[in-house]
Structures are given as C-alpha cells and as structure tokens.
C-alpha cells in the first residue's frame, strides 16, 4: 500500500502522513522543503520529492516520476492563503496561489483518477476549507480557490457514484487549524484552532469510510449550516468583520 501526500512537510499534511504510516502505508511525501529528521520518524518506507507545485511543469513532472508507483491514496493538501483587499494584494502571489490551490489539485486529481479507474480502486482526498462555503472579503482569492476544490471534488464524486465505482473521493473542509497557514497568510484567527493531528486522524477515518465532505468539528458544521440561511449581503458583512479581526 502506498500514499502520495502533497504539502507534507508540516501541519495537516505531515499528520496525515503519520496516520497513514501507522496504518502500514509506504509514503511519497511532496513539498518544497523537508526536515530530514522528520523522514526518519515514520514507521514505513518514505520517499521525499522536492517539488514546487505552483509551477505547472513541475506538477506534470511529479506525476511522471510517480505514475509507476501504484499509488493507492492521493492527498492533495498543498496550498496557502493571502490576506488583504483584492485591489491591493500581490497579483503574482495570487497567481501562484491559484496555480497551487487549483491547478495542481485539478491536474493531479485527473491524472491519478485515470490510473485508479483502471484498477477500480483508490482514495483521493482533496483539502479545501470551510471558506469554500461562502465568499471571503479580505481573502477573496483564497476563498475562491477553496470553493473550486469543493465543487470539483463533489462533482467527481457523483460521476463515480453513478458508475458504481469502488474509488473513494473526499474533500476536507476544516475551520481554523493550528498550522503554519496563519504565518504564511499573515493573519491571526479570532476563533479557537484545533490541532492538525486531530484533524488528520478524524479525516483519514472518514476518508476510508468514503465520506464525501469532511468537516472535523461540530462548531464549524453549525457555522456552515447557519451561513446557508443568511442573506448574501448580511453574510458578507459578517465575514468581513471576522476577517478584519485577523489583521
């Protein structure tokens, strides 16, 4: 059994890797950089591939390097956020985010799904966010990329269900998690964060049960349900005020 995990150097990706290693999966870990000490902490075989997934050419190269590995689990976890008014935020950084959060996920999901369909087996986990369920003033590009991941994954799920496929595809939509995300996005969450280990352990358990949308906490499930009954303008005002506290 073998799993490929992107964004595996820290946070949710790292803890998903530990969980799968405990379950007996050999690992292919993908990130820009990796602490060599971390690679020695897993119980199963580990291969590390340094890759900048915001570079589309490197995404295709990653697949070419790994397509013969007989991957059983694909975890598209790599991604980052950016805070600030849309007119004032870096366009270059936003394009990098779109390439990583959307294009890399799209390409890897499609290519590995083709392989999984040949053997009619495998699991795909795409990491989105609770941000996917609403608009996000002050983090507009990030929220939009995560909405794409949610809609892409749920659409594929229905296609697979109708052909009675044995392949599982899930999307993780967590709220605030204690990871490096805040530092990269230059924000501070006003809401209490949960540990990445808790999110990882909960998520993998649900993934193997072929749960479609995985939301790790009751609190975030409640927030998402409430957001569906509010008017869009009221929701935008509330979201802006919450986001503004992250400065």
Q: Which domains does the chain have, with CATH numbers?
A: 2-244 (3.40.50.720)
Confidence bin at 62 (pLDDT 50/70/90): very high
Q: What is the pLDDT of residue 218?
A: 80
Helix (H, G, I), strand (E, B) or coil at 177: strand
pLDDT (tens digit, 9 = 90+) per residue, 100-157?
999 999 999 999 999 999 999 999 999 999 999 988 899 999 999 999 999 999 999 9
Q: What is the pLDDT of residue 180?
A: 59
- CA distance to 2, 20, 27, 42, 180, per residue, from 24 (Å): 9, 6, 9, 10, 27
pLDDT (tens digit, 9 = 90+) per residue, 181-227?
555 545 554 556 789 999 999 999 999 999 999 999 887 788 788 77
Q: What is the pLDDT of residue 185?
A: 45
* % residues pLDDT > 70 (the chain): 94
**Nearest CA among 117, 72, 111 for reference residue 208:** 72
CB 33 within 8 A of CB 55: no
């Amino acid at each position: 059994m073998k799993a490929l995990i992107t964004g595996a150097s820290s946070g949710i990706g790292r803890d998903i890797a530990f969980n799968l290693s405990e379950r007996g999966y050999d690992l292919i870990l993908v990130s820009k950089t990796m602490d060599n000490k971390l690679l020695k902490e897993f119980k199963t075989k580990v291969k590390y591939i340094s890759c900048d997934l915001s570079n589309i050419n490197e995404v295709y190269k990653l697949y070419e390097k790994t397509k013969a590995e007989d991957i059983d689990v694909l975890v598209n976890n790599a991604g980052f956020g950016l805070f600030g008014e849309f007119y004032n935020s870096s366009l270059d950084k936003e394009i990098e985010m779109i390439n990583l959060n959307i294009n890399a996920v799209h390409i890897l999901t499609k290519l590995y799904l083709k392989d999984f369909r040949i053997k009619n087996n495998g699991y795909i986990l795409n990491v989105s966010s609770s941000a996917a369920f609403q608009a996000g003033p002050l983090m507009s590009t990030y929220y939009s990329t995560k909405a794409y991941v949610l809609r892409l994954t749920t659409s594929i799920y229905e296609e697979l269900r109708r052909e009675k496929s044995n392949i599982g595809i899930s999307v993780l939509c967590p709220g605030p998690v204690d990871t490096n995300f805040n530092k990269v996005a230059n924000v501070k969450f006003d809401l209490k964060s949960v540990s990445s280990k808790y999110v990882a352990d909960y998520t993998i358990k649900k993934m193997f049960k072929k749960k479609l949308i995985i939301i790790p906490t009751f609190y975030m499930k409640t927030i998402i349900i409430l957001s569906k009954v509010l008017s869009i303008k009221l929701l935008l005002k509330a979201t802006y005020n919450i986001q503004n506290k992250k400065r």
